[in-house]
A and B are shown apart, each in its own frame.
Chain A
């Protein structure tokens, strides 16, 4: 297309004005010549006009010469389509609404899939980044893992034993309390090796990032780099923050601020601290302290295969340097960072969701195709007339496809509005995470993906593409069918061909099958959710407020920490409305957050049992109502180490014996602990995982710098919060409260993922069943309309009403039955997608399959009854006259 064509295209008015002026000029000159040859001026002008011919024709020719014919045709098709569609507002609304639902939901789900699975990681050359993990062998107490964390010495040894990576960096997440400026606040930080930022290709927005030298000597360089968000929130975006010191557990010098789009590999962080910035007393050098993640960047020209081989080799060197005490072999493994960013469970639930929402759109397409097919038969007269006045099949086909595309793009535009609303709802990471399974593992890059869910160019492109695709999908078959309507056939009679009725029916069967697949999926997830929410957590979550307190500064002694928390518990218990207060190091249903250790009996030290370990106060058990089953709770008079175990621990450690009075080793705690009581099981990890053995010790005997405070209240526990804050401020103004939630909120969070999955799938299935019902209804109603004459004759010949009714119902039932069979077969295959996402529910559960099929049958029958009743009331005289 050249410049002139473009100008003609864009400035159509100007183009035509020019044309007019030129022709007018021609006529004037010609008329003047003719006047000179003797004609009167009027006759001359008439003659000149006649000679030149029609102005309109020139316009057409000129536009054709400039290659604009197709545009005129398109404009014509569009105007015609708008006229045709606006004459049928009901049809238009039904189609646009169906498509808006389908395209909107698909676009919304796509934005999440894009952010978490498709969009490249936000670092330069993300394809060259790998994640390195240790392969930990199985022990009697712990299963093996191929995604285990590193200790600092193992990381260092690995880094120096390979030559395939440009650089190898370690990182670990932590929390720190910011004090000294305004309200104290718990911040999220990353402890990283000095090369972390250069490896990720991140530059400071202000100041600089760490040098390798700043992460070389322990207890020397206390420097920190701030996130853009923290700098803006706490320092008012003041550039003079560089060089200032801030107070965390000690003072750190701020050397830089990162740009706002940077996020660490373990998730959004407020600040970064070098790994060596710890007191020398703290262990950087313990090869068995596995707490760090490791990432690396491939050297140019090194393939992933070479990197994997080199990683395995370097892993052997690490294993030889730090042999396992039980002589078990450890290894190392490299994976593309991109591939590790989403937990497999989340990936699967996302795929299941995407498949489900795709099915809804497909069903919507079938419905629209159905409507168009029925419309097509109605329109055959119109099409035949257009054919008679010279429109070829191609031209008619193009017209019909233009109509479909206009429908689908209108639906797509409405769908985008819906998607925008949905994405806004997803905006809270909490909800987006829960929908897709983050309840299990909110971490690192996954969180990263969810925090950037947005309706961007890629999403718009996706919406436009699926709009056009659906337009073609539902448009082509009906358009083909309609456009080839023969001239004579259509003008001769209005009764439809058997062929198009068969096509309509088979589309309805397909639609029904797809809807049934979704019904099965939704019923499975709902059942799974119901079973899960009926699971006993072991605690009573009503009216309990919980909050985490991490001591802002290392306590002078363990006793000082215990005293502080003891004071806090006692004062909290004295607040108005509080029945009882308690302390523990971990909350029920906290996922992977609780500590575990290998406990053993003195008589059998070689068969340890992996169990959870909690430092608690006596008040904890009554605050969350964990029942005491045997013995007693802790007593201030206990002078020797004592412990309480749960039922599972008692059964595993002392099967068939009375556990009271038995001794237990609980490393890393000193000495042997006497068992004084047995309490009920509590689900500390996930709700869908059975309770493991748990050991409780007295926090006054073994204190921790981080505890959860519990307060059971008379009524609404959140009302207590201001009092609690004020009381903490009186105890220590530099001490923030963190992670404040009611126990009910924690319990709800544990079932959030299955709950949202069930809700979303249920909504999808509901829409799908509704659409299938509408599809079945429209086909049956259409058939009845077409056969009015036949029914009239049959009634006139003596057929009873009930016979007509059952006849129509029978036909509907055949379709429903075919759809049910198809749906069950498809569901058996498709529900495998849900494996691993269901709790105590088999994907091929026969009860669920039956239940779903019955639901589908009922919906189908309801859809057939209305047209069947209409058929039964056909008046034979009217029916015969109507033709």
Chain B
């Protein structure tokens, strides 16, 4: 279960860790989230196309580990900038949420 909008952020993060093909992105997200975040496979490719079209991801054709032709994704400069902004935004949101949820009823 993912919050809306977080899939794009996770993809950007996964791709930022190194050259990845589509299936690799899926595995990498599972891996870095410690298996806690399960991506629905059907949602992955539309998100990749969308990010590519927005100019955040670059693609190239290469050979994968099993020696097959595969499409690899990398971050563009804009993509890297977007990842930084979104990460900061996410952290602000998380800390704001934590602060809010940690608040105790005021006695005063």
Contacts and interface: CB of A to CB of B under 8 A. Distances in A.
- Our verdict on whether A and B bind, yes or no, reads yes
Interface stretch (A50-58, A123-131, A204-212, A851-859): A50-58
A62 interface: yes
Nearest to B71: A22
Contacts of A22: 21-22, 45, 70-71
Nearest to A5: B53
A66 B64 contact: no
B82 to A, nearest CB: 16
A52 B41 contact: yes
A51 B68 CA distance: 21
A66 B66 contact: no
A540 to B, nearest CB: 84
A51 B41 contact: yes
A26 B49 contact: no
B95 to A, nearest CB: 33
Contacts of A18: 61, 71
Interface string B48-59: 011011010000
Interface string B10-28: 0000000000011100000
Contacts of A52: 41-42
Interface string B28-52: 0000000000000110011001101
Which interface residue of B21, B41, B52, B55 has the most chain A CB atoms within 10 A?
Answer: B41
A28 interface: yes
Interface centre among A5, A18, A29, A51, by most chain B C-beta atoms within 10 angstroms, is: A29
B104 interface: no
Contact of B22 (A25, A32, A53, A61): A25
A25 B41 contact: no
B46 A30 contact: no
B68 A4 contact: no
A638 B53 CA distance: 102
A21 interface: yes
A18 B59 CA distance: 11
A58 B22 contact: no
Interface in A1-58: 2, 4-5, 18, 21-23, 25-26, 28-30, 32, 51-53, 57-58
Contacts of B64: 25, 29
Interface string A51-80: 111000110011001110000000000000
A37 to B, nearest CB: 13
B46 A25 contact: no
Contacts of B71: 18, 21-22, 25
Given A25-B64, A26-B22, A53-B42, A65 B49 contact: yes
Interface residues of B, number: 19
B41 A62 contact: no
B34 to A, nearest CB: 18
A62 B21 contact: no
B70 to A, nearest CB: 5
B68 A28 contact: yes
B108 to A, nearest CB: 54
A65 B22 contact: no
Given A5-B53, A65-B53, A66-B53, A58 B69 contact: no
Given A5-B53, A21-B69, A25-B69, A58 B41 contact: no
Contacts of B45: 22-23, 26, 58, 61-62
Count chain A CB atoms within 10 A of each CB in B45, B64, B66 and give the residue with the most.
B45
B66 A32 contact: yes
B41 A61 contact: no
Nearest to A18: B71
Nearest to A67: B53
Nearest to B65: A29
Contact of A4 (B41, B52, B61, B66): B52
A4 B21 contact: no
B21 A25 contact: yes
A22 B73 CA distance: 11
Nearest to B64: A25
Contacts of A66: 49, 53
A1 to B, nearest CB: 11
B42 A62 contact: no
Given A18-B71, A52-B41, A61-B45, A25 B23 contact: yes
Given A18-B71, A21-B69, A53-B41, A65 B46 contact: yes
A58 B46 contact: yes
Contacts of B68: 25, 28
B46 A29 contact: no
A52 B46 CA distance: 12
Contacts of A30: 23, 41
Contacts of B55: 2
B101 to A, nearest CB: 35
A743 B96 CA distance: 104
Nearest to A57: B42
A57 to B, nearest CB: 8
Interface in A413-459: none
Nearest to A66: B53
A58 B46 CA distance: 7
Contacts of B52: 4, 65
A296 B69 CA distance: 73
B66 A28 contact: yes
A183 B68 CA distance: 81
B49 A25 contact: no
Given A51-B41, A52-B41, A29 B66 contact: yes
12 contacts: A2-B53, A18-B71, A21-B69, A23-B45, A25-B23, A25-B64, A29-B66, A58-B46, A62-B45, A65-B49, A66-B49, A66-B53
Given A4-B53, A5-B53, A25-B21, 19 more contacts: A18-B71, A21-B70, A22-B71, A23-B45, A25-B22, A25-B23, A25-B69, A25-B70, A25-B71, A26-B21, A26-B23, A28-B68, A32-B66, A52-B42, A58-B45, A61-B49, A62-B49, A65-B46, A67-B53
Interface of A: 2, 4-5, 18, 21-23, 25-26, 28-30, 32, 51-53, 57-58, 61-62, 65-67
The 6 closest A-B pairs by CB, nearest first: A65-B49, A61-B46, A29-B23, A53-B42, A62-B49, A22-B71
